[in-house]
Amino acid sequence: MRIVLGVSAGIAAYKAVHLLRLMREAGHQVDVIPTPASEKFVGRATWEAISGRPVTTSVFSGVDEVRHVRLGQEADLIVVAPATADLLARARAGMADDLLTTTLLATEAPVLLVPAMHTEMWNSAATAENVEVLRGRGTEVMEPATGRLTGKDTGPGRLPEPEQIFERVSELLAEIQGPTYAYAPRAGTFYAPDPQAQPALLGRSVVVTAGGTREPLDPVRYLGNRSSGKQGIALAESAAAAGAQVHLIAGIMDVEAPENVANITVERIETAEQLQAAVGRRAPEADLLIMAAAVADFRPTSYAAQKIKKTEDGENPVITLERNPDILAETVQHRRTEGTGPGVVVGFAAETGSAEADPLQLAQAKLLRKGCDLLVLNQVGETLVFGQDETEIHILTSPTLAESSAPVTTLRGTKHQAAEAIISAAAAYLV
Ligand code: C5P
Closest CA to 274 of 291, 256, 249: 249
Check if 263 is active-site: no
DSSP letters of 324-379? PP-HHHHHHHHHHHHS-S-SEEEEEEEE---SS--HHHHHHHHHHHH--SEEEEEE
Rg (CA), the chain: 28
Instruction: Tell me the pLDDT of the chain (431 aa) as tens digits.
Output: 899 999 999 999 999 999 999 999 887 899 999 999 999 999 999 999 999 999 988 877 666 666 667 898 889 999 999 999 999 999 999 999 999 999 999 999 999 999 999 999 999 999 999 999 999 999 999 999 998 777 677 889 999 999 999 999 988 987 876 543 333 322 333 333 344 556 788 889 999 999 999 999 999 999 999 999 999 999 999 999 888 999 999 999 999 998 888 889 999 999 999 999 999 999 999 999 999 999 999 999 999 999 999 888 989 999 999 999 999 999 999 999 998 889 999 999 988 878 888 888 899 899 999 999 999 998 776 555 456 667 789 999 988 886 655 578 888 888 888 998 999 899 988 88
- Catalytic residue among 130, 225, 324, 378, which? 225
- 370 assigned to a ligand binding site: yes
Å from CA of 78 to ligand 1 middle: 46
Helix (H, G, I), strand (E, B) or coil at 234: helix
DSSP letters of 215-233? EEEETTEEE-----SHHHH
- 98 assigned to a ligand binding site: no
Q: Which atom of ligand 1 is nearest to the CA of 330?
A: 20
Helix (H, G, I), strand (E, B) or coil at 400: coil
Say if CB 180 and CB 5 are below 8 A apart. Answer: no
Say if CB 398 and CB 428 are below 8 A apart. Answer: no
Domains, in order of start, for the chain = 2-177 (3.40.50.1950), 183-302+316-427 (3.40.50.10300)
Å from CA of 201 to ligand 1 middle: 24
Query: Beta-strand (E) ranges in 21-72?
Result: 29-34
Q: Which atom of ligand 1 is nearest to the CA of 324?
A: 21
326, 354, 374, 395: residue to mutate for ligand 1 pocket, most atoms within 8 A of CB: 326
Å from CA of 57 to ligand 1 middle: 57
Measured CA to CA, the distance from residue 232 to residue 292 in angstroms comes to 5
Measured CA to CA, the distance from residue 424 to residue 403 in angstroms comes to 18
DSSP letters of 235-268? HHHHHHHTT-EEEEEE-B-SS---TT-TTEEEEE
For CA atoms 192, 196, 200, 202, the dihedral sign is positive
- 415 assigned to a ligand binding site: no
327, 330, 362, 373: residue to mutate for ligand 1 pocket, most atoms within 8 A of CB: 327
Q: What was the pLDDT predicted at 407?
A: 72
Å from CA of 409 to ligand 1 middle: 21
Q: Within 6 Å (CB) of ligand 1, which residues are found?
A: 272, 291, 293, 295, 297, 324, 326-328, 347-349
- 218 assigned to a ligand binding site: no
Q: What was the pLDDT predicted at 259?
A: 87
Q: pLDDT digits over 11-68, tens only?
A: 999 999 999 999 998 878 999 999 999 999 999 999 999 999 999 888 776 666 666 6
Q: Which atom of ligand 1 is nearest to the CA of 375?
A: 10
Say if CB 321 and CB 299 are below 8 A apart. Answer: yes
Say if CB 31 and CB 71 are below 8 A apart. Answer: yes
DSSP letters of 181-205? -EE-SSTT-EEPP-GGG-GGGTT-E
Å from CA of 294 to ligand 1 middle: 6
- 328 assigned to a ligand binding site: yes
